[in-house]
Structure 1
Amino acid sequence: MAKVREFFEDKKSSVSHPTLVDCGYQAVRTSEGVFLQLSTYGSDQRQTQKKTSQTLQLDREHAEQLLRILITTFPDLRGRVTEDLS
């Protein structure tokens, strides 16, 4: 498990990953504040089903940064998100 310290743009080339996994999310309330926790679970080929592979926690500041990154990457989401909330 890890708390995200920093987002930065990775400029190395990359390709789409062939493996599909599930991702659970939850709000975790602690004495430090609220964190958005994202946990990925092993692929279908993994021997132990539904075992957590990686967990990331985002505080409010980093969730806001991630939201900006998502909207920059997928500009059409800006209007859709606010429409879905109403």
Structure 2
Amino acid sequence: MKRMIMMLLVSAAMCAPAIAASVTNKDGDVQVLIVVEGGSRMEVALEPGATETICPSGCFVTLPNGDRIALNGGENVEIEGGSASVK
């Protein structure tokens, strides 16, 4: 019985969605973000009006205006005028 309960708990934990940050581009131009997560660096291009999910385990994001922000996951970020507001 204990084994069955443990298997159920492990299965539930593996199916739980990861909490990630959501970034929306409210500008009329494509915005390119530089995302550094776990030592890996990548560029994310956001089309106007697009939303992208990033940073499931936390990261640093460099915005088009050069600002750098830290995200833990779960934040909603809106880019407007090249700068971001975190909600």
Question: Would the TM-score normalized by the shorter structure come out above 0.5?
Answer: no
Q: Which has the higher helix share?
A: 1
Rg larger for: 2
Shorter-chain TM-score range: under 0.3
TM-score (norm 2): 0.22
More strand by percentage: 2
Give the TM-score of the pair, scaled to structure 1.
0.22
